[in-house]
Structure 1
Amino acid sequence: MVIGSGMIAQRFSDYHANDNVVIFASGVSNSKETRSEPYARERQLVETTLAQAGERLFVYFSTGSINDPTEQGSAYVAHKLAMEELISSRAIHYLIVRASNVVGGPGNPHTILNYFWERIQQDEPFTIWQYATRNLIDLDDLYEAVTHCITNPARWNQLVVIANPYSVSPLQIVEAIEMHTNRKARYELIAKGLPFSFDTYIHDLIPINDADWQPHPYLLRLLRKYYL
């Protein structure tokens, strides 16, 4: 069973016919959301789905933003933490996935890569937080890592972090888009943001070739794959 219709739900569509797993990939997609109604809707859907899940593995996608010091106290992070607690206390079998910034192509305007891509495509000015870091992970890499956990019951009933071994600065992302599109971005660097890291990375779940994850080639590969 797959709950949701967005990018992650579509990538996990092969689980629709799986009677042993519930993929919960529906909820608030904008981490800057401040209204209470979207969060209440997700909580209600989580509670309803948990009640129906029985002994099936309940897979919930949380967020790597919980590690971001600039997001501490935000409504989005508070909600995700509450959902993690709800699921871990009620589900018979669960897997909570804290994923970093998932990249799967244009669509959600609230993701950092899509935001920069659209500003550059439209030749619109924007700001870059000089001291921030972001961690980008390919949707297909997320799928492989989560599938590894689903098929290994020793990974169940715990929280897993799925993140790229290398974080990047927003400026690196913009420069990669400039190279990919041969367009010059119109931005202003501002003295904001804080770097942050994760306790574990994707290489704790699946074998990787370190050279494939280096920031420059990985960024360009994402752009060539999803942004024509």
Structure 2
Amino acid sequence: MVLGSGLIARAFNSFLHDDRVLVFASGVSNSSSATPADYAREKELLLAQEGISARLVYFSTCSLHDPTLHAAGYIRHKRLMEGLIREQFADHLIIRLPNVVGHTPNPYTLTNFLRDRIMAGEPFHVQAKACRYLMDVDTVALGCPPMMTRPEYRGTTIDACLDKPVPVPQLVKAMEQLLNRQAVTTEIEAGSCYHVDNTAFKQAWSAHAGLPWPGPDQWVDVLRKYYGGASGTE
């Protein structure tokens, strides 16, 4: 069963009619400007699932580890949701995702935001010290399902990301090259390049995915895959 209709929900369409799992992928779509009402809706929808016999699979964020975002509303909300799940759903799996890249009309994903600002020639700030973990939605769809039904992952929280974060200034440069446009940016001394321990996810990938672990520069190929034609919206 799948709750949601966005990029993450579509990645798990294979679970639509699987009553062993409830994929909760109906969260806040704009982490930077969500309102208290947006957070309340997600919380109410979550609590409405109490008593289900299926395993609840909830998607949180690796940004919980970013010290510069500790007090951000979105991060506080995610911590609250994780706590509720641990208290109310004995059979659960919390998967913390990085910035996921894929075809989506959502203008609030990191890479769609960058594409739109660059293509429109609109100025934006770049945090000089910031890094972001990126992952292809197809990689998410390959790496997560084995954990979603196996008993050993019951009641666990998994940070699902690749090994190396991408410095945001480097990410902007890569997008400029793909789009053949120069970004109008102001670099500010801010941000954090934090580490996420992905050991559990790598172990699950090695045991169940049956594919080589993605290399450190895979993010470049992922950007080319989705933005080589300046789209990312299909």
TM above 0.5: yes
Task: Identify the residue that residue 157 of structure 1 maps to in structure 2.
Answer: 155
Alignment of 1:128-207 (within 5 A): 128-201=126-199, 202-207=201-206
Find the residue that maps to 1:150 and give its secondary structure: helix
Structure 1 letter corresponding to 2:68:
T
Verify the 8 A CA contact 2:20 2:149 in the aligned structure 1. no
Structure 2 letter corresponding to 1:214:
P
Verify the 8 A CA contact 1:66 1:77 in the aligned structure 2. yes
Distance 1:209 1:20 in 2: 28
Distance 1:162 1:113 in 2: 19
- The answer as to 2:10 corresponding to 1:2 is no
Find the residue that maps to 2:163 and give its secondary structure: coil
RMSD, matched Cα: 1.7
Task: Identify the residue that residue 58 of structure 1 maps to in structure 2.
Answer: 56
Verify the 8 A CA contact 2:115 2:175 in the aligned structure 1. yes
Verify the 8 A CA contact 2:6 2:104 in the aligned structure 1. no
Distance 1:57 1:154 in 2: 12
Structure 2 letter corresponding to 1:95:
L
Identity between Structure 1 and Structure 2 (%): 35
Find the residue that maps to 2:92 and give its secondary structure: strand
State the shift of 1:34 in Å.
5.1
Distance 1:33 1:190 in 2: 20
Distance 1:222 1:30 in 2: 22
Verify the 8 A CA contact 1:15 1:21 in the aligned structure 2. yes
Task: Identify the residue that residue 98 of structure 2 maps to in structure 1.
Answer: 100
Task: Identify the residue that residue 213 of structure 1 maps to in structure 2.
Answer: 215
Distance 1:33 1:204 in 2: 35
Give the TM-score of the pair, scaled to structure 1: 0.91
In terms of mean alpha carbon deviation, does 93-102 or 174-183 score higher?
A: 174-183
Distance 2:173 2:203 in 1: 29
Unaligned runs of 5+ in 1: none
Find the residue that maps to 2:19 and give its secondary structure: coil
Task: Identify the residue that residue 36 of structure 1 maps to in structure 2.
Answer: 36
Give the TM-score of the pair, scaled to structure 2: 0.89
C-alpha offsets along residues 164-223 of structure 1, whole Å, 9 cap, x if unaligned?
11101111111111222222222221111121111225423213646x4223xx233112
Unaligned runs of 5+ in 2: 230-234
C-alpha offsets along residues 106-135 of structure 1, whole Å, 9 cap, x if unaligned?
422222211111111112222210001100
The change in CA–CA distance for 1:209 and 1:18 in structure 2 (over 3 A counts) is closer
Find the residue that maps to 1:127 and give its secondary structure: strand
Verify the 8 A CA contact 2:135 2:219 in the aligned structure 1. no
State the shift of 1:18 in Å.
0.4
Structure 2 letter corresponding to 1:154:
E
Distance 1:122 1:213 in 2: 32
Structure 2 letter corresponding to 1:204:
Q
Verify the 8 A CA contact 1:102 1:136 in the aligned structure 2. yes
Q: 1:91 aligns with which of 89, 92, 114?
A: 89
Task: Identify the residue that residue 232 of structure 2 maps to in structure 1.
Answer: none
Verify the 8 A CA contact 2:8 2:25 in the aligned structure 1. yes
Q: 1:74 aligns with which of 72, 75, 78?
A: 72
